[in-house]
Each structure stands twice: as C-alpha cells, then as structure tokens.
Amino acid sequence: MLWKLYYILITFNPACSFLSQTYHSEGHSGQYYTLPPTHIQKLFPYGLPPRFQLQIKTFNEGCVMVRPPALELISYLKRADYSKPPLRYVLYGDIGTGKTMSLCHALHYCYSQGWLIVHVPDAHLWVKNCKELLPSSSRPSRFDQPIQASQWLKNFKITNERFLSKLKTTQRYVWTKRESTEKGQPLGELIDQGVNRMKSSSDVVGAVLRELRLQAGGATEGEGAFKLAVAVDGVNALWGKTSLKKEDRTMVCCGGAILTALSQTGSVFKPRSAYLPSELLGEEGFDNMEPFVPVSVSNYNEKEFESCYLYYLDRNWLQHPHSRSEEGKKELIFLSNKNPSILERLCAFL
C-alpha cells in the first residue's frame, strides 16, 4: 500500500518541535503536531473538547500532543486486516487523562487517509436532557429526537462531503405519504431530506447508518471502495440507564473500524471514581462490545509534562513570574499530579 508522506518540520526549540504530518512513530512521542485549520473546520466542528476549542481560538492554532495511546491506536489501524469484521477499540482511563483527544487524533489520521467518518461526539447528549421527544413513525416502540438527529446530519454532511455524491441508496425509503427517496439516489439527497424535515430526521439517521453498513463491505470495486471509521465518544451512555424513558441500540458493520472512548463526566447514575470498562459499560454493554481491544490512557509522564510546559511557555500562556521558575514548575507538578486537564485549568489563570 502506498502511504502518502507529506510533512513540514518547523523547529522552535530542540525539546519541542512542531510537526504537521500524518505519519507518526514512537520517536515522536511527547511532541506537538499542528492540525491544519481547514481540517479542523471540516472534521471537528463539534467533536473536540470545549476547553481545547477555546485553546485553539486563543493561540490561533490547534496543536495536539502525540502520546502513546494515540500512537498505539494508529499502529493498530495501520496493521488491521479490513476484509474481516471490524475491530473495536475502547479508550479508557481516569477523568481528564486525554481519551477524547486521543480519539480525535486517531480520527484525524483516518480522515487524512481518506476514510469516511461517522463521529458521535458525545453519546450522552442522545440519552439525557432531551428537549423534544417524538414517538417514532417507523417503529412503534421507539422514540425520536429530531433536534439531535438533524444536528448530527448537518455535521455528517460537512465532514464527508466528497463521499456524498459517490454513494447511492440501495432501497426505497418512504418518509410520509407524499415524500419518498427512490433507489439509486445519491446519499446527499437522503441527508438533505433529513435536515429539511425535522420529523423524519431520526429515521434518516437510521437509513444512513444502514446504507453505510451495507456498502462498506464492498471493498473490491475500485471506485466504490472506502473505509468506514465509526467513532463514538461516551459509548457507555448507550447501554446504561437513561433519564429518558426508552432507548435501544444496534451496531454491526464490516470493512472498517470502530473506535470508542468511555467517558465518566456526563454519564448518568454512575459513581465518579468508576473508570474501568467493566464498571462504566455495565454487564450488557460489556457483552455487546466484546471482543474489543482496550487502550489505556493515563496522566502525563515526565517527558510529556516537560513538553506541555514548554509549549505553554512558547505560546506565552504561563504569565506569572513564579510559574516560570523551577520551584513554580514543581508546584504545578504537585498540584496537578500531571493530569492533563487539571494542569490546563491551573495554567489558565496563572
């Protein structure tokens, strides 16, 4: 397989060099790499953690640290065999260690390799605090969320524009007495249908997923071949108890990969200290997801902490004179315990 390597090496200082390239290896662990702004707009209009989005806006650039869990995930993706049913990867770890960021890093890799991305930024949004709930028109026992569904369809359209004209529907879908989508229409029309008509948007979501599932397997044709990456953040939301009254779950695919990350913040009815897959997914979730490849995400080690500290110094973020001294650095290590999110919140006001 031909891997396209395009990279620009910009060195600011030897300990922390900025690479914007799609090909990473073990040696780059701890260094920052820049996400091109066009990619951020297309791929991540909604998928990045909110504090990271603020950081992008403040520093005028989006830099992600290359860390071992993301590297592991990317190496698995490179080596996997795609003619067999897809492998499932679950990123797990304590709060604030960087699961969502690693997921976004791997997703960016998939995007630059030209995969089709199905990204659910936070499954908890579908499961709790719902403002509008309609009984579904297609199946009597299901409930729909029109706002969430149409939002998701809009984002899906932005991310996967080039695929929309290529893929065709395989069967006829009837939305109401007067509206229906014929067989062989491009996928773009299906999505427009869902965005324009709020009532049937959840059914459109189901139809889209079904189409992708059927067509991802046809990898032998030259033009129609594509790889599908399904990324779900907060996957434990899909099996746990919901604060809505009814919900159900299906997931089967072929010829692609399923990347997921667990998330404790936002999950309902779970204690704060639970972070292992068995605790957060619950029995039903665990049985459904199994077999999966677990990838553990932990706090920064010394080299990564050093790199993060130097990055903040370089971007003029650490302003307090004491934080720039050795003692201040030791204080920061002590206060944050090298946890990425706590360190970020501390450095924000120092």
Partner 1 sequence: MCVSLSLCLVRWSRYNPYYLDPDPSKDARVPESELSPEEKELQELKTVSPIKAALSSDTSSAFNDPLISKFINMMMQDGNKILARGIMTQTLETIKRKQVEKYHKSPAAKREEIECNPYTVFHQALENCKPIIGLASVQKGGKSYQVPVPLTDNRRRFLAMKWLITECRDNKHRRTHMYEKLSQELLAAFANEGNVVKRKHDLHKMAEANRAYAHYRWW
Contact residues toward partner 1 (CB under 8 A) are 54, 57-60, 315-317, 319-320, 322-323, 327-328, 331, 348-350
CA dist., res. 257 & res. 342, Å (int) = 31
- Judged by beta carbon, residue 244 or residue 350, the one nearer partner 1 is 350
- Shortest CA distance to 77 belongs to which of 290, 293, 286, 296? 293
If one counts every other C-beta atom within 10 angstroms of the C-beta of residue 324, the result is 14
Strands of the 293-297 sheet, one edge to the other: 116-120, 228-233, 256-261, 87-93, 293-297
Q: What angle do CA 173, 179, 180 make, to 5 degrees?
A: 20
Q: Which residue has the tokens 């934080």?
A: 323
Q: Is-contact 93 234, C-beta < 8 A?
A: no
- Judged by beta carbon, residue 270 or residue 315, the one nearer partner 1 is 315
User: Least distance in Å: CB of 151 to partner 1?
Assistant: 24
- Judged by beta carbon, residue 140 or residue 321, the one nearer partner 1 is 321
User: Least distance in Å: CB of 128 to partner 1?
Assistant: 24
177: tokens are: 């007495």
- Judged by beta carbon, residue 279 or residue 314, the one nearer partner 1 is 314
User: Least distance in Å: CB of 323 to partner 1?
Assistant: 8
If one counts every other C-beta atom within 10 angstroms of the C-beta of residue 293, the result is 14
3: tokens are: 């891997």
Which long-range contacts (C-beta less than 8 Å, at least 24 apart) are formed by 206-211? 206/138, 207/169, 207/173, 208/153, 208/156, 209/118, 211/167, 211/169, 211/170, 211/187
- Judged by beta carbon, residue 174 or residue 348, the one nearer partner 1 is 348
User: Least distance in Å: CB of 18 to partner 1?
Assistant: 15
Q: What is the DSSP letter of 3?
A: P
140: tokens are: 């009597």
- Judged by beta carbon, residue 59 or residue 143, the one nearer partner 1 is 59
- Judged by beta carbon, residue 267 or residue 323, the one nearer partner 1 is 323
User: Least distance in Å: CB of 260 to partner 1?
Assistant: 32
User: Least distance in Å: CB of 328 to partner 1?
Assistant: 7
User: Least distance in Å: CB of 322 to partner 1?
Assistant: 4
- Judged by beta carbon, residue 60 or residue 141, the one nearer partner 1 is 60
User: Least distance in Å: CB of 54 to partner 1?
Assistant: 7
- Shortest CA distance to 217 belongs to which of 208, 227, 231, 205? 227
Q: What is the DSSP letter of 52?
A: H
